[in-house]
């Protein structure tokens, strides 16, 4: 297809196609990921799970951790082979194709956008609790939530040292909260033994919790627990030695963060009988009953408010980190020229090289979404609705990985699972599909009565249709303006002969098989010889 067949405005070269600047090592990446997971959420989350599914609900955290460790193992092989910004979007693009990569990135972005709004909303409820306003109006809560989202956006524009200080504060808050409070609760305030919190379900007969209340707990745990373990992969191009550092960071995060979360959850399960009003409190107080009832009854109001403060710090940092993840997905899709105003969205700042405009878009979404929350149940619906898009976005590269393996076209990076790769990928794919379906199941106990219980499923359909329409626009004219780098292999030498046809990432000229081009290992693009003379790489 010649250049005359498409709009020249789509072919305007970007001023700079380089990647973002390396700013994280393995430790920094692990810290950011731990911040996203928020192990301290085990306190507030487990009280909520118990109110829905009984004292054994904390075991849903154990099951979810086992699933995500398998997912992390497979993701580690993908991140090692393709250490590209945007993680699942880039992997799906390489494994399946550009259009599937677009849908994957869209679902990933929508999931984080929905989750950020609900996460900030509940953080604001804790702030109100700390200052003595336990029942704010919806309008007041929405306005303050929007301000919190704005502040989280501004934090991401500060020098990286400020951001890392917030990450350190969040990690320390989770460590103090999980270890300190768990030991104090278990040692001094347990009212049950470990055997009493295994096999006890909500209202169901013994032995049926695997098919009933446990699935409710698993659905809700998937909504807020262990989200963000893949965040180092989202920032791969900003991490030094990413092919090795990213898999290690994901595993470390899940093992440490998962253990702390489960410890916190178990401590609440052992103590909660000392505060039988937990379920009633949750109905009237949306900020997390473990702060206001279980911990307060066991250790006093002062201890409960200190724990609430630690959760506020950890959650605010997580909201800020999730905005980074969302902005990197926007930036990656813009770099591939798949979004409107791509040339504007892909710009980075001159000195720090952060995707400023993509961050602005993520911030605008975050500031706006809280106003769709009309009642506490709406925030629960947003959290539940955010699970299925994320699980599907995780599932797509899994299926692509299985297809590559079946065709014997897979080549491992520095991190490899060897002969375990295929069975683990299959198990992970099945588990992710199950988590997606489980989160969408129309349960009144989670999403409300009547039509409200169908809202998460309807939202998924709406998001999917919107994504397909946007994809049709992005790939109009057979996608000639979209960056075609499906043939790129990151192990190629900087000056290469193309083994396939392709497109120059700057001028969009069709490149022929065998043509000599330049491979940019930072931006993961091919550039024709003419353009290479004019672009700093």
DSSP-derived letter for residue 290 is I
User: What is residue 503's predicted lDDT score, i.e. its pLDDT?
Assistant: 61
pLDDT exceeding 90 applies to what percent of the chain?
Answer: 22
The strand pair at 516-520 and 495-497 is best described as antiparallel
- What the block records as the tokens of 302 is 């002062």
Q: How far apart are CA 303 and CA 313, in angstroms?
A: 16
Residue whose entry in the numeric block shows the structure tokens 């020249």? 8
Cα 394 to Cα 497: distance, rounded to the nearest angstrom: 33
pTM: 0.81
253 HSE (CA, 13 A, CB side) = 33
pLDDT recorded at residue 179: 93
Alpha helices in 156-241 (DSSP H): 160-175, 182-189, 213-224, 231-234
Q: Give the pLDDT confidence of 134-155 residue by residue, as tens digits.
A: 667 788 888 988 999 999 989 8
C-beta separation of 277 from 298 below 8 A:
no
DSSP 8-state symbol, 239: B
Q: What is the pLDDT of residue 273?
A: 60
Percent of the chain predicted with pLDDT > 70 = 79
Question: What's the pLDDT score for residue 204?
Answer: 43
CATH code for the part of the protein at 21-317+377-478: 1.20.1740.10
The pLDDT score that the predictor gives to residue 536 is: 39
Q: Which two tokens stand for residue 234?
A: 């989202």
- Nearby residues of 161 by Cβ (< 8 Å), 6 or more positions away: none
Cα 218 to Cα 19, 269, 439: the distances in Å are 38, 16, 8
Is residue 86 within 8 Å of residue 332, measured between CB atoms?
Answer: yes
In this prediction, residues 398-425 reach a mean pLDDT of 86
Which pLDDT tens digit goes with each residue over 385-405?
899 999 999 999 999 999 887
Stated length of the chain: 537
Question: Can you tell me the distance from the alpha carbon of 136 to that of 124, in angstroms, rounded to the nearest whole number?
Answer: 10
CB atoms within 10 A of CB 250: 26
Burial class (CB in 10 A: 0-12, 13-18, 19+), 157: middle
Selection from 313, 352, 348 nearest residue 327 by Cα: 348
DSSP three-state, residue 223:
helix
Tell me the residue ranges of DSSP E strands in 118-277.
Answer: none
Taking the C-alpha atoms of residue 61 and residue 52, their distance in angstroms, rounded to an integer, is 14
Tokens 């925030």 sit at which residue?
379
Tens of pLDDT, residue by residue over 337-357, are 888 888 888 887 767 778 889
Looking at the DSSP bridge assignments, the partners of residue 519 are 526
Pairwise CA distance, residues 37 & 65, whole Å: 12
Tokens 């997580």, residue located: 318
pLDDT at 177 over 50: yes
Question: How confident is the model at residue 331, as a pLDDT?
Answer: 87
CA distance 448 to 201: 21
Instruction: Decide if 46 contacts 288 (C-beta within 8 A).
Output: no
């Amino acid at each position: 297809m010649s250049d005359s067949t498409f709009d020249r405005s789509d072919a305007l070269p970007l001023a700079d196609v380089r990647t973002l600047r390396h700013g994280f090592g393995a430790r920094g990446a692990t810290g950011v990921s731990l911040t996203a997971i928020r192990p301290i959420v085990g306190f507030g989350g487990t009280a909520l799970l118990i109110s829905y599914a009984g004292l054994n609900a904390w075991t849903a955290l154990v099951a979810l951790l086992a699933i995500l460790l398998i997912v992390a193992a497979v993701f580690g092989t993908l991140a090692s082979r393709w250490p590209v910004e945007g993680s699942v979007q880039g992997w799906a693009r390489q494994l399946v194709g550009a259009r599937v990569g677009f849908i994957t990135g869209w679902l990933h972005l929508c999931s984080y956008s929905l989750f950020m709004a609900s996460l900030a909303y509940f953080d604001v409820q804790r702030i109100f609790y700390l200052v003595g306003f336990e029942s704010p109006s919806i309008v007041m809560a929405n306005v303050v939530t929007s301000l919190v989202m704005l502040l989280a956006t501004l934090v991401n524009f500060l020098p990286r040292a400020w951001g890392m200080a917030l990450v350190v504060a969040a990690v320390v808050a989770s460590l103090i909260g999980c270890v300190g409070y768990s030991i104090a609760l278990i040692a001094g305030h347990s009212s049950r033994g470990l055997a009493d919190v295994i096999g006890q379900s909500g209202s169901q007969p013994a032995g049926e919790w695997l098919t009933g209340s446990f699935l409710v707990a698993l659905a809700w745990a998937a909504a807020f627990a262990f989200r963000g373990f893949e965040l180092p992969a989202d920032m791969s191009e900003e991490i030094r030695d990413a092919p090795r550092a990213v898999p290690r960071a994901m595993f470390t995060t899940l093992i440490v963060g998962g253990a702390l979360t489960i410890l916190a959850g178990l401590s609440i399960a052992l103590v909660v009988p000392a505060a039988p009003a937990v379920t009633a409190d949750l109905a009237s107080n949306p900020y997390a009953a473990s702060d206001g009832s279980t911990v307060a009854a066991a250790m006093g109001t002062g201890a409960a408010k200190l724990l609430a403060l630690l959760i506020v710090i950890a959650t605010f940092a997580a909201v800020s980190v999730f905005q980074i993840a969302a902005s990197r997905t926007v930036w990656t899709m813009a770099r591939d020229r798949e979004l409107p105003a791509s040339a504007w969205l892909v710009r980075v700042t001159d000195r720090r090289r952060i995707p400023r405009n993509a961050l602005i878009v993520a911030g605008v979404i975050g500031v706006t979404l809280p106003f769709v929350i009309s009642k506490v149940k709406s925030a629960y619906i947003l959290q539940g609705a955010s699970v299925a898009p994320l699980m599907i976005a995780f599932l797509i590269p899994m299926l692509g990985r299985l297809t590559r393996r079946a065709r014997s076209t897979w080549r491992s990076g520095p991190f490899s699972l060897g002969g375990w790769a295929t069975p683990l990928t299959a198990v992970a794919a099945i588990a992710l599909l199950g988590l997606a379906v489980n989160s969408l199941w129309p349960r009144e106990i989670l999403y409300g009565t009547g039509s409200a219980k169908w809202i998460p499923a309807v939202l998924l359909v709406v998001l999917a249709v919107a994504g397909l329409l946007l994809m049709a626009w992005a790939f109009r004219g057979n996608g000639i303006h979209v960056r075609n780098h499906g043939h790129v292999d990151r192990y190629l030498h900087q000056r290469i002969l193309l083994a396939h046809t392709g497109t120059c990432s700057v001028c969009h000229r069709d490149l022929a098989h065998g043509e000599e081009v330049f491979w940019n290992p930072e931006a993961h693009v091919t550039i024709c010889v003419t353009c290479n003379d004019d672009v700093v790489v």
